[in-house]
């Protein structure tokens, strides 16, 4: 065996793959061979590093050099300069946006400095398709410890003491959930991992499954031991092909190594895990609908109680947790509840992974201790708003969450503060919006989503969200009426109080929170038929200003002959004829046409 | 795998493969400037990697550096043991490598007759 002197880690997360990391990896394989370095340099495909905005990412060890936006064309230079001659390729290093300073090592980058990675500790650091690398960094130690040195009661107690709460959105104490499932007496019990991540803009579960699948399997097996289950299901959407592939590889490798299957660690405990691919219905993230879907039925929720801990999958006691929740378990068992509860706030312990999207410089995944402020996440980690625009709002918690305005930026991010502010943790998707975003339009977007994802079983959700969407649509089209706001509010309260499941109960949240913080925008739309952000197309009017030279180009471009004026005279748009297509503005050589 | 002890044994075996991604002990740094390569730095590097593999010295890092100006004495090879001075050896040939690794890297005894430079540890 030869001494491996360098490791090249190429990110193989979905984001980097879609920006071309497969080609980068192939190019490395080719050039390492060309320079005869293939035996002394190890090429590894890892999971997501979270810094997706700057992908494809490549890290070279032992130096820990962090290369950003690497293309296949850059690879020859990295191999020749860095791996062959030992010279860092400076032009590919990350630059801090504010100082323009080059940062060679990735733990020194602002994006990573404020993070604390427990769940994502291995993501991007190990090969997710090699159980050996997971074991080498301490994997399956927690399962071994639980099975051989702890009783199921002690495991439940440890998780309870850690203060871990469900990371899927609700925030229910995980240990308590396990205790309920454990207390149910039955010949058969199940553990389910909810990987039906569906919020627009959320991709943290996907990254954990793709980057560190064994961590989730280990968490599930520990849970199985604690509650007395010998079988588990991972319900993952079919739109996550890479996650599914890596999970299958991981399950096969774990079974081969004896880490899943019969008599694990000689303890007499058996545990097997199956994968159930979901067809991508949002409502199947709701636990009762999810179980119906596994059973082969139509994915629709049912009233609770009975709760899954009493009667779940096939009528047997079942414990359902989210991917990120399971991903925390091994660390809690390894390091103890006391260690874990040092992170976070009084009532929200540990860390949370957030997916940063929207008008933010560093799109990507960030894991931060609970209680950090929204400002720190958006500015210190996220690098602020793109194109130097002004921050307007952040949408947190997906279609069930809410929008928070600038005045709430210093709010500590934890389950309870967010609920009090009219939003919710949700799965942790953060969509950042700038001054060009219309808040009525945002509410309409999320309601369109929940409306089309409503399963139709209960009337408040099926009919109520449809009526709300109709009202929002007419407001954004300039047809809003006096009393619409009040009608929205009363519909929202009714739906919240009477819908069958979480989807319907939380569907009005985006409307309520935008009404709470941005009511004036709704009023502007309704009373003055104006969209203050200039986003609602139907309410815009195009106006020709004094820079007009009378070149007649706009009049000729207009498809509906709405523009009139003599040659070399200022032209005028007839607003009653205008269809707001924007052709005049796009073609004006003097930039004399504005919209507003 | 039958027991927790099996897991620990396997982990200890596999851990060395990933050591490179953490801070590790001794560093061997080879001059890979054009001058170094012309003088045979790649061959020296190959000899170093072979010797480390033969002796299972998994926590020794091998790095390269550019030309430091002493082109006349290439191939230059530095050994940096944690907490000790950085020693630069000059005119290193592949056949010198096992001597340097045995004496200096493993046992901490500098091969004085080949030393061309020394940087004290700050």
CA separation for the pair A394, A373 (Å, rounded): 12
Closest-approach residue (CA) in chain A for B32: A85
Cβ <8 Å between B18 and A257: no
> With pLDDT > 70 as the criterion, what percentage of chain A qualifies?
100
A89-94 own/partner pairs: CB under 8 Å, 24+ apart = A92/A67, A92/A68, A93/A65, A93/A66, A93/A67, A93/A68, A94/A54, A94/A66, A94/A68
Phi, psi of A333 (to 5 degrees): -65, -40
Report whether pLDDT(A139) > 90.
yes
* A522-577 per-position pLDDT tens digit: 999 999 988 988 888 888 888 899 999 999 999 999 999 999 999 999 999 998 89
pLDDT, position A1: 59
**Which run of H or E residues covers position A17?**
helix A14-18
- Percent of the residues in chain A that have a pLDDT greater than 90, as a whole number: 77
Kindly state the average pLDDT of the residues A266-287. Answer: 94
How far apart CA B73 and CA B49 sit, in angstroms, is: 21
Residue of A nearest to B48 (CA): A3
pLDDT confidence of residue A4: 87
HEC letters along A368-418: EECCCEHHHHHHHHCCCEHHHCCEEEEEECHHHCEEEEHHHCCCECCHHHH
CATH (residue range A6-113): 3.40.30.10
Min CA distance, B111 vs chain A (Å)?
A: 23
Is A3 close to B58, i.e. CB distance below 8 A? yes
Q: Does B100 touch chain A (CB under 8 A)?
A: no
Helix (H, G, I), strand (E, B) or coil at B58: coil
Q: Above 60 in pLDDT, residue A147?
A: yes
Q: Is A84 on the interface with B (CB under 8 A)?
A: yes
A86 in B contact zone (CB under 8 Å): yes
Q: Does the model's pTM come out above 0.90? A: no
A102, β-bridge pairs = A95
Give residue A257's pLDDT: 94
pLDDT in tens, A197-231: 988 888 999 999 999 999 999 999 999 999 999 99
Q: Using alpha carbons, list the distances in angstroms from residue A242 to A112, A249, A260.
A: 25, 11, 21
Closest-CA residue of chain B to A130 = B14
DSSP letter at A165?
B
Per-residue model confidence as pLDDT tens digits over A280-337: 899 999 999 999 999 999 999 999 999 999 999 999 999 999 999 999 999 999 999 9
Q: Which CATH architecture has domain A540-595?
A: 2-Layer Sandwich (3.30)
Verify whether the Cβ–Cβ distance A7 to B21 is below 8 Å.
yes
- From B29's Cα to the closest Cα of chain A, the distance in A is 9
Question: Distance between CA atoms of A485 and A402, rounded to whole angstroms?
Answer: 17
Give the span between the Cα atoms of A212 and A48, in whole angstroms. Answer: 9
A131-340 folds as Rossmann fold (3.40.50)
**CATH says B22-119 is which class?**
alpha beta
Question: Which pLDDT value is given to residue B23?
Answer: 65
DSSP state of B74: P
Q: In this model, does residue B122 exceed pLDDT 70?
A: no
> In chain A, whose CA is at the least distance from the CA of B29?
A86
pLDDT in tens, A30-87: 999 999 999 889 999 998 888 888 889 999 988 889 999 999 999 999 999 999 988 8
Of the candidates B32, B18, B111, which has an alpha carbon nearest to the alpha carbon of residue B76? B32
**How many cross-chain Cβ pairs, A to B, lie less than 8 Å apart?**
91
The answer to whether A534 touches A319, Cβ cutoff 8 Å, is: no
Least confident of A8-12, A50-54, A185-189, A217-221: A50-54
CB–CB contact A135 B20 (8 Å):
no
A487 touching chain B per CB within 8 A: no
- Out of B50, B58, B64, the one facing A86 most closely (by C-beta) is B64
Q: Between helices A204-211 and A241-256, what is the axis angle to 10°?
A: 40
Which pLDDT value is given to residue B24?
66
Nearest 5°: phi and psi at A456? Answer: 90, 5
- Three-state secondary structure string covering A197-260: CCCCCCCHHHHHHHHCHHHHHHHHHHHHHHHCCCEEEEEEECCCHHHHHHHHHHHHHHHHCCCC
Class for domain A351-434, per CATH?
Answer: alpha beta
pLDDT for position B121: 65
pLDDT in tens, A419-462: 899 888 888 899 999 999 999 999 999 999 999 999 999 999 99
Across all residues in chain A, what is the average pLDDT?
Answer: 92
pLDDT at B67 over 90: no
Closest-CA distance of chain B to residue A382, Å = 26
- CB within 8 Å of A297: residues ≥ 6 apart: none
Going from N- to C-terminal start, the domains of chain B cover 22-119
Q: Which helix (H) or strand (E) holds B100?
A: helix B97-100
In chain A, where the domains are located: 6-113, 131-340, 351-434, 439-527, 540-595
DSSP at A55: P
Assess A538–B contact: CB distance below 8 Å, yes or no: no
What is the C-alpha end-to-end distance of chain B, expressed in Å?
47
Over 70: is that where the pLDDT of A338 sits?
yes
Q: Tell me the average pLDDT across B41-56.
A: 91
CATH number for domain A439-527, candidates 3.40.640.10, 1.20.1440.230, 1.10.10.10, 2.20.25.240: 1.20.1440.230
Q: Is B121 within 8 Å of chain A by CB? A: no
Q: Does the model's ipTM exceed the 0.90 cut? A: no
pLDDT bucket at A399, cuts 50 / 70 / 90? confident
Calculate ∠ Cα A267-A271-A273, nearest 5°: 155
């Amino acid at each position: 065996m030869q001494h491996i002197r360098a490791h090249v880690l190429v990110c193989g997360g979905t984001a980097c793959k879609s920006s071309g990391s497969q080609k980068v990896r192939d190019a490395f394989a080719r050039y390492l061979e060309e320079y005869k370095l293939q035996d002394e340099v190890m090429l590894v495909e890892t999971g997501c590093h979270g810094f997706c905005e700057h992908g494809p990412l490549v890290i070279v060890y032992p130096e820990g050099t962090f290369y950003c936006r690497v293309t296949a064309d850059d690879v020859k230079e990295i191999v020749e300069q860095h791996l062959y001659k030992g010279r860092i390729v400076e032009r590919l290093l990350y630059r801090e946006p504010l100082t323009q300073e080059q940062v060679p090592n990735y733990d020194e980058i602002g994006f990573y400095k404020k993070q604390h990675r427990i769940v994502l500790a291995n993501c991007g650091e190990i090969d997710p398709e090699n159980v050996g690398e997971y074991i080498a960094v301490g994997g399956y130690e927690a399962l071994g410890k639980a099975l051989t040195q702890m009783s199921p009661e002690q495991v439940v107690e440890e998780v309870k003491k850690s203060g871990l709460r469900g990371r899927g959105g609700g925030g229910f104490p995980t240990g308590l959930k396990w205790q309920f499932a454990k207390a149910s007496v039955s010949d058969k019990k199940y553990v389910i991992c909810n990987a039906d991540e569906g919020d627009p803009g959320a991709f943290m579960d996907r990254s954990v499954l793709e980057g560190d699948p064994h961590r989730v399997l280990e968490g599930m097996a520990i849970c199985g031991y604690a509650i007395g289950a010998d079988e588990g299901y991972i319900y993952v959407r079919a739109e996550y092909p890479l996650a599914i592939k890596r999970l299958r590889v991981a399950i096969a490798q774990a079974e081969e190594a004896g880490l899943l299957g019969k008599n694990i660690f000689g303890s007499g405990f058996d545990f097997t895990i199956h994968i159930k691919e979901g067809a991508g219905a949002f409502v199947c993230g709701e636990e009762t609908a999810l179980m119906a879907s596994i059973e082969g039925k139509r994915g629709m929720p049912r009233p609770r109680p009975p709760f899954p801990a009493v009667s779940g999958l096939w009528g047997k006691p079942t414990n359902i947790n989210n991917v990120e929740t399971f991903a925390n378990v091994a660390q809690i068992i390894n390091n103890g509840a006391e260690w874990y509860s040092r992170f976070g706030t009084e009532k929200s312990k540990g860390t949370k992974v957030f997916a940063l999207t929207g008008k933010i410089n560093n799109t990507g995944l960030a894991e931060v201790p609970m209680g950090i402020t929204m400002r720190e996440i958006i500015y210190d980690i996220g690098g602020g708003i793109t194109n130097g625009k002004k921050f307007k709002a952040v949408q947190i918690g997906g279609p069930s969450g809410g929008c928070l305005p600038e005045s709430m930026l210093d709010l500590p991010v934890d389950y309870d503060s967010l609920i009090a502010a009219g939003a919710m943790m949700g799965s942790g998707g953060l969509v950042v919006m700038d001054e060009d975003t219309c808040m009525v339009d945002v509410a309409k977007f999320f309601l369109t989503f929940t409306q089309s994802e409503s399963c139709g079983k209960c009337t408040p959700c099926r009919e109520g969200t449809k009526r709300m969407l109709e009202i929002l649509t007419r407001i954004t089209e300039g047809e809003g009426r006096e009393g619409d706001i009040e009608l929205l509010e009363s519909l929202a309260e009714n739906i919240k109080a009477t819908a069958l499941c979480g989807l319907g109960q939380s569907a009005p949240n985006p409307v309520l929170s935008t009404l709470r913080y941005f009511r004036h925008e709704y009023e502007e739309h309704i009373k003055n038929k104006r969209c203050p952000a200039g986003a609602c197309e139907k309410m815009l009017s195009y106006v020709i200003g004094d820079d007009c030279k009378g070149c007649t180009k706009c009049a000729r471009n207009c498809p509906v002959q709405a523009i009139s004026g003599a040659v070399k005279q200022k032209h005028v748009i007839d607003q009653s004829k205008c269809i707001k297509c924007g052709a005049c503005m796009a073609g004006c050589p003097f930039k004399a046409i504005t919209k507003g | 795998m039958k027991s927790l002890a099996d897991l620990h044994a396997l982990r200890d075996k596999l851990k060395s493969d990933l050591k490179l991604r953490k801070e590790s002990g001794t560093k061997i740094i080879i001059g890979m400037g054009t001058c170094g390569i012309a003088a045979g730095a790649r061959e020296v590097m190959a000899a170093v990697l072979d010797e480390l593999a033969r002796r299972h010295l998994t926590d020794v890092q091998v790095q390269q550096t550019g030309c430091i100006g002493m082109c006349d004495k290439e191939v230059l090879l530095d050994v940096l043991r944690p907490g000790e001075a950085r020693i630069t050896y000059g005119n290193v040939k592949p056949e010198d490598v096992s001597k340097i690794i045995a004496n200096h890297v493993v046992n901490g005894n500098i091969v004085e007759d080949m030393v061309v430079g020394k940087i004290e540890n700050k």
